[in-house]
Chain A
Amino acid sequence: MSSIPLPAALQRDDHVAMEQKANRRKRMSRWFSILCVIIAFLSVVVLVVLLVSISIQGSSRLSTDLLSNAHSELHPEQAGMWPAIVGTLFVCGVCALGSLPLGIGTAVFLEEFRPRKLELRWLRHRFPDQSKTWDKLASGLYKSIRGFHSFIQLNISNLAGVPSIVYGLLGLSLFVYMFNVFGQIKVNEASGWEIAGAQHYYQVLSLESGQVVLIPQTDRTQSTLTVESPTTGVTPDGKTYEVGVWEPGSPKPTDPSVRRRTVRKGAKGGVFTDRAWYYFRLPFDRSFLAAGLTLALVILPVVIIASQEALRAVPPSMREASLGLGATTWQTTRDVCLPAAIPGIMTGAILSMGRAIGEAAPLLVIMGAAIAKSTGPQHLMDDAVTMPVLIYNWAGRQQAVYQELAAAAIIVLLIVLLLMNSVAIYLRERLSHV
């Protein structure tokens, strides 16, 4: 084996030491890859521990009661999460309606209407004034449009890093109080303008026990009414009638229908408000509408970034073909780019909605941590309970029964999220191969 003599410089090196060094390096590499495997599978272990511990804790409370009942302080063993499920649906519906059009529009603007050199050339062609100032003006205009694009891009990356509780505070100022434009913020009292759907009455006890007459309120600042003389009352379906007054001492009317329409002289009534489902007021106050719009702000950056990536993945050759046939940029976007990007946009939308469903911090700020509500929202300005807020409230209590309920509610929430994520994955697989 003495075919090629080693150079003198290498002959001096110690073969044994070289081999040891090589072995050490190989051993190091092997240890590192073992460490990698252990650490990488740590995440699997964590996930398994999480799921197992929660399902052990919550399995005893998983029943139809949980799905159909409302929270109850007196009978915690029968408490359920139906209002929270409905509330989550409403809040996330508003969130989707708010964030998806806005987010996809912004993504289209940033990706498809990116200023190109073409426009600068068109400007020069359109106004063939060769003077230096014009040239400077045109390129300045072009640069400022480009600057606008990159500024918005930077802004979106920054918005994605803002903590969600700060968005909650923004929603509190913007949607709940509307920066106080509609008057001084009052505690425990609604301020602002009621626009539609509200009827205010005074409720006065009639002579028939357990029955009341409704008298329309004329002055909103007066919260009680004392009946001294006959006035007009209203039936619940809007018909007016004369309310009689009974002087104590004189004989009471005997006919029940008359008694029902007669009140004692000097009887006092408090305000009662009847709200139709389309009840609308400004500012929104602590309503599910305000909460949904705030959540829309939280997930807006996520929607924009996902849609941008989907649009970027559309091959430029398709755009060029469409533009080459004489379509305008918007026609190209509408008929070529958006249809091709739909799977990606849908996936991003579903994943961001999953995030919205699990978000609790901004909702705590907007609607508070109270969960005593037995139904979903009854009108547009009604408040709501959502699943994460319910879980937060239950998990923070000391009693074991509420801890178990929290775990059971978490199982329901995770099943919903898992279903949504698998729909997203299915869509991505199915639509991207068409």
Chain B
Amino acid sequence: MSQPAALRNRRFRSTSTAVYSERFVVMMLASCATITVLITAGIIYMLITESWHFFTSDYVNFKQFLTGSEWSALQAKDIKDAEFGIWPLLSGTLRVTMIAMLISLPLGLITAIYLSEFASRRIRGILKPTLEVIAGIPTVVLGYFAVLVISPSLQWVSSGGFDTFNATSAGIAVGILCLPMVCSLSEDALHAVPNALREGAYGLGCTPFETSIKVVVPAALSGIISAFLLAFSRAIGETMVVALAAGTRATATLDPREQSQTMTGFIVEMIKSENEFGTVQYYSLYGVAITLFVITFGMTLLGQLIRRRYRESYE
């Protein structure tokens, strides 16, 4: 702490106490911050050490894990018959996620455009709280909603074409879940676009539609894309909806009407089953979890990269 010359040779007790307590506080706060790093390190350490038991077991082959098209960790009576290929779970996850994205991305983006470009104060006053309420609904409730309403109405519409538990109803529920997130993040990005760009577009004779689609959305594109990626990783990691509504059979098809077990769904199913600690089936859940973690971590990193590199800054 630099002091004026008049004070330099005098010792103030309060000043030196403040300096020491300052150092102490900085240490405390820095250790709080360090804990967040330790959590990441803990997650990675845990995933690697536990899945090590899985990948080095006699019944598992890493190459087969990546390419195999059959997953029967829980169905197989004998460990020798169990097949560990991640593709059925991955395809189940992707099916649910794709349906969720088909719903949440366009709807969320259009709602965001509407909120930031067109909506009057009164409509904002209705829509914003609605989205906040949807964002606050626990995921287990949405899973119940999928079982109770979405799946029966799908069956009714298609006159029985869908299974009771199917990828589509879970996907729709996950889409509802992601919608407020896509909407609020995209709206933030649209909001950050300066008004001068809009005024320029109107001055050149653009209609409101052309202004928002051809000028404002491209200007906010980096923010919108990172919002999309965030929603994608959220949908991949979503657990309770798929545990309730997507079914428990791991199949490697692309048919959205069938049951589909996702990676998170498998983890829940595994936890509920009677398999004891230390069996290959038990460790297989860590093999699935590390795959899930790598995908979502990659998505988040990609989102940040896009946000940093392609952000248009208007100062």
- Let me know if B9 is at the binding interface, CB within 8 A: no
Contact A328 B272 (CB under 8 A): no
The residues of A that contact B233 with a CB separation of less than 8 Å are 161, 163
Which of A102, A152, A358 sits near B140, CB closer than 8 Å? A358
What's the minimum C-beta distance from B184 to chain A, rounded to whole angstroms?
Answer: 12
Contacts known (A39-B114, A166-B289); A357 close to B138, Cβ less than 8 A: yes
Which of B113, B264, B296 sits near A361, CB closer than 8 Å? B264
Contact B138 A297 (CB under 8 A): no
Beyond A25-B209, A330-B26, A392-B143, 11 additional contacts (C-beta under 8 Å) are: A28-B209, A33-B208, A39-B114, A42-B107, A50-B141, A50-B142, A102-B32, A169-B267, A392-B240, A396-B244, A418-B133
Contacts known (A40-B127, A125-B2, A360-B140); A161 close to B296, Cβ less than 8 A: yes
**Which residues of B are interface residues toward A (Cβ below 8 A)?**
1-2, 18-19, 21-22, 25-26, 28-30, 32-37, 39-40, 42-43, 46-47, 50, 107, 110-111, 113-115, 118-119, 123, 126-127, 130-134, 136-145, 147-149, 176, 179-180, 207-210, 213, 230, 233-234, 236-240, 243-244, 264, 267-268, 271-272, 276-278, 285-286, 289, 292-293, 296-297, 299-301, 303-304
Contact A162 B293 (CB under 8 A): yes
Contacts known (A46-B134, A161-B233); A155 close to B37, Cβ less than 8 A: yes
Assembled-state Cα–Cα distance A155/B300 (Å): 10
Q: Which 8 A-B pairs have the closest CB atoms?
A: A163-B237, A358-B138, A105-B32, A161-B300, A109-B29, A29-B207, A29-B209, A36-B114
The residues of A that contact B35 with a CB separation of less than 8 Å are 102, 106
The residues of B that contact A301 with a CB separation of less than 8 Å are 36
- Let me know if A120 is at the binding interface, CB within 8 A: no
Assembled-state Cα–Cα distance A144/B234 (Å): 32
Tell me how many residue pairs across A and B have CB atoms closer than 8 Å.
Answer: 254
Query: Which applies to chain B's interface (DSSP): helix, strand, loop or mixed?
Result: helix
- Let me know if A345 is at the binding interface, CB within 8 A: no
Query: Chain B residue with minimal CB distance to A395?
Result: B144
Query: Which applies to chain A's interface (DSSP): helix, strand, loop or mixed?
Result: helix
Contacts known (A331-B18, A392-B240); A53 close to B145, Cβ less than 8 A: yes
Binds B, one of A222-230, A232-240, A363-371: A363-371
- Let me know if A192 is at the binding interface, CB within 8 A: no
Which of A29, A187, A410 sits near B276, CB closer than 8 Å? A187
Assembled-state Cα–Cα distance A113/B113 (Å): 37
- Let me know if A57 is at the binding interface, CB within 8 A: yes
Contacts known (A53-B149, A113-B26, A161-B233); A43 close to B131, Cβ less than 8 A: yes
The residues of B that contact A195 with a CB separation of less than 8 Å are none
Contact B277 A185 (CB under 8 A): yes
Contact B46 A169 (CB under 8 A): yes
What's the minimum C-beta distance from A345 to chain B, rounded to whole angstroms?
Answer: 15
The residues of A that contact B237 with a CB separation of less than 8 Å are 162-166
Which of B115, B133, B138, B296 sits near A40, CB closer than 8 Å? B115
Contacts known (A300-B39, A407-B148, A410-B144); A170 close to B299, Cβ less than 8 A: no
Which of A53, A300, A392, A421 sits near B244, CB closer than 8 Å? A392
Contact B139 A29 (CB under 8 A): no
**Which residues of A are interface residues toward B (Cβ below 8 A)?**
25-26, 28-29, 32-33, 35-37, 39-44, 46-47, 49-50, 53-54, 57, 101-102, 105-106, 108-110, 113, 122, 125-126, 151-152, 154-167, 169-170, 173-174, 179, 185, 187, 297, 300-301, 304, 328-331, 351, 354-355, 357-361, 364-365, 368-369, 388, 391-392, 395-396, 403, 406-407, 410, 413-414, 417-418, 421
Contacts known (A361-B240, A388-B240); A152 close to B272, Cβ less than 8 A: no
Which of A162, A173, A406 sits near B297, CB closer than 8 Å? A162
Contacts known (A157-B300, A162-B296); A421 close to B40, Cβ less than 8 A: no
Contact B297 A392 (CB under 8 A): no
Contacts known (A40-B127, A169-B286, A414-B141); A163 close to B22, Cβ less than 8 A: no
Contact A43 B179 (CB under 8 A): yes
Assembled-state Cα–Cα distance A110/B26 (Å): 11
Contacts known (A163-B292, A368-B272); A391 close to B141, Cβ less than 8 A: yes
Contact A170 B43 (CB under 8 A): yes
Which of A41, A159, A357 sits near B36, CB closer than 8 Å? A159
Contact A162 B43 (CB under 8 A): yes
Contact A395 B134 (CB under 8 A): no
Assembled-state Cα–Cα distance A297/B25 (Å): 23
The residues of A that contact B30 with a CB separation of less than 8 Å are 109, 113
Assembled-state Cα–Cα distance A173/B22 (Å): 36
The residues of A that contact B272 with a CB separation of less than 8 Å are 364, 368-369
Assembled-state Cα–Cα distance A369/B239 (Å): 14
The residues of B that contact A388 with a CB separation of less than 8 Å are 138, 140, 240
Assembled-state Cα–Cα distance A165/B210 (Å): 43
The 26 listed contacts between A and B (C-beta, < 8 Å) are: A25-B207, A29-B208, A33-B208, A36-B113, A36-B118, A43-B130, A47-B130, A50-B137, A106-B29, A108-B29, A125-B2, A152-B36, A162-B43, A162-B297, A166-B237, A166-B289, A169-B50, A169-B285, A179-B46, A185-B277, A328-B19, A330-B21, A354-B136, A358-B141, A395-B244, A414-B137
The residues of B that contact A152 with a CB separation of less than 8 Å are 33-34, 36-37
